[in-house]
Amino acid sequence: MKPIKGSIVALITPFHEDGSVNFEKMGELIEWHIANKTDAILVLGTTGESSTMTQEEDDHVVEFAIKVANKRVPIIVGAGSNSTQAMKERSIKYEKMGADQLLLISPYYNKANEKGMLHHFLTCADAVNIPIILYNVPGRTGCSISESVVAELSKHPNIIGIKEASGNIGYATNIARYVTEDFALYSGNDDMITTIMALGGSGVISVLADIAPEYTHNIVQAWLDGKPQESLKLQLDYLDVIHALFCEVNPIPVKEALNMMGKEVGGYRLPLYEMADANKAKLRAALEKVGLI
């Protein structure tokens, strides 16, 4: 599979009041995304709260998403871990379950040196036969995938891209040198979609797409269609919404936004907690401004 071009939603995981996964609601969200031009769906990402879910819950979410999507859109699964062996085992399992691609994060907490970082990813890439997207998000992990490691990993036939979520345009520019038809660059920040597209990016792995799927698709598609000014206008018109979605730690605001929109996706698991009233008001105002509520 070649790298996907477009808007990949980092799907939230809806919960019932008792905190259990609401699979009926998840099915509704997947159908909504398919109907509204989302180009691929990522489950078990940061936005999906997999860090507070059990392995059994993770497996059920993956199985359910693959079944509902039924090959209508690719399903990408976050299989990362700070344990390379655990990440390898999860990667093999999700490939067998039918995942189309995997998203693998750099090791967090224990971090790694250059060789450790390289082999963290190579171990998994050598163990599976489906495409892998690297995930660079030093704000979450406390470490970055160095440019030299990206350069080496980009040569592996199973590694087809990187989600760049550092917010560092200098770093993004440096790794853009390794973009080819077989290795894609994705924005991991919704306020930098057009910036990354200008560097040869293929799209975005998006939180904004959770609440505005077709709009986010259109930001990317306009650029791909050779309409950069149209793409930029779409990006800037939603900038206040994007900022509001990150006024507290993700995915608290995006879940609150979906609830304000009447999607009834439930709450979150500790240590995530309800938004401050002032931030709720800011979020509501931003959503009202663009007509989402």
Active site residues: 135, 163
The separation between CA 244 and the C-alpha centre of its own chain, rounded to angstroms, equals 18
Length of the chain: 293
Distance, CA of 226 to CA of 221 (rounded, Å)? 9
Distance, CA of 183 to CA of 1 (rounded, Å)? 11
Strand partners, 202: none
- Residue by residue, DSSP assigns 152-163 as HHTTSTTEEEEE
Distance, CA of 150 to CA of 146 (rounded, Å)? 6
Distance, CA of 212 to CA of 195 (rounded, Å)? 19
Angle between helices 55-69 and 23-35 (to 10 degrees): 40
Distance, CA of 128 to CA of 91 (rounded, Å)? 7
Cβ atoms within 10 Å, residue 271? 8
